[in-house]
Structure 1
């Protein structure tokens, strides 16, 4: 079966087509601001709240674009993927809307809330060990057995085009942004930002935010080639995966810089957002704010778009409850 990652890189025309295709199945998520956050950071921050998205995360954009772009013949065997959570539940959501099967391989350590959501949307879970090697090996068995269309969590051009619709909305909702910052794991959201902004707002700086404990994108960016960690350990469970060829293409060409934050800085930023903005967000989503607080000189005086990528949290295991 053809690996969808071998498809041509997406263009901005693909982004426009994706936006039309997925509009019936997604929310146009709101922008929130906070005077407190602005004073604290010295920047004017605009938060794009993908935690309010269908299925609770931005990944429903790419998933819907892939699922609803399939022909009837292609869709007949369903779709399959491997994911630590948000892509799995987003693909399950999209497949359910189309009425086709969805098989997902998830690490056994994935948050229970995300596993429950996958099953709630009708997804069929096969568990693997929490490493890239195990994930890909188990997935190969599942795909061989089902013959399903592989929708990669981030290296799939259809997914990147779908994720790019988020930053397209952002530019329509807020004028005069100087910079946009989003978390980076595999790089699907950041690649979408690169694709959109390089075409319609090339002056806007693009920053990626990453945990120090899973900083392979940061090290790749500095080295000039992909460096992949097999099983990093961080509270930001959505950011444990490495860059791949398609996302590296966009990151290496268009990202201004990659900034990192410690585990405690991520937890502090997550708790601060919950307390001050009254919104539920995942640890992965707190990394951008953590890096802004850590590097105020980079953002001071600028209008900065911050993408809050998801809100699928295990409420029984909030990080500040530890101990």
Structure 2
């Protein structure tokens, strides 16, 4: 297993008109970060020079033409393009969106080819990145197609982890999308990621109801009674510690979430509103279930403050640390599962 300082950490630059480039460069302007990983930013030396001046940073970097040329202890910029890019901070621009995809595509390919160990993605604009090559509601679905595995949006901090049954699905479609098969699949992904990525040997998971008050015994919708409850019982019958459905409106205020290793929300805002309220600026978006490790900050492009030198780097920095931690945990898990006698402290 690699030591933390040897981990090659790829970074997609995100939408250049947003705050992504600012939080990336400011994070690694602190040279102490280079003790934990070898960063490789997928962009271009020209644009990084421009951004360095924009934010009055002193960082030193070296341009490379392949991830294998990255040097430990330095900031490496993988030159994905050579031409100039016109940046207008705070504006939606499909041309800039095209460069966001170029960066993401190159970084993802490097991850697939084991040329980098983990990927941290800066925020994209979901509208301007759309093209024939990228026709997805966000990073998660694109990475699931490219990297393999069953993806799940998993919002994480040290004390709170929330997974979603549905993520970028319109509210009117949620009830029709949630099926017993989907519930079982998502719960299984969360169980596995807690074991292999977060060192939880026997995960205890809470599931939130679909309807207000979990349907009030069918008075407010029948989905909880007819779909969610029997499916959770089926999972429990296998010996898994999965509980619910819990009424979402009181679950977080009562601090009940502290009794579980993870929480499963039925839809995007049901999970992300409490998550961001409790941990905004320190949370991380982790794509669980993939064959590779990808994290991102818990916020978007923040066009309203882009270019103003005001962005908070904490969530991006946490995303870097979490990617490293998860990579190490996963490598340890592989060793233990491939050589179970080591787990018992016996010689092989």
Same fold (TM over 0.5): no
TM-score, normalising length from structure 1? 0.30
- Mark the structure with the bigger radius of gyration: 2
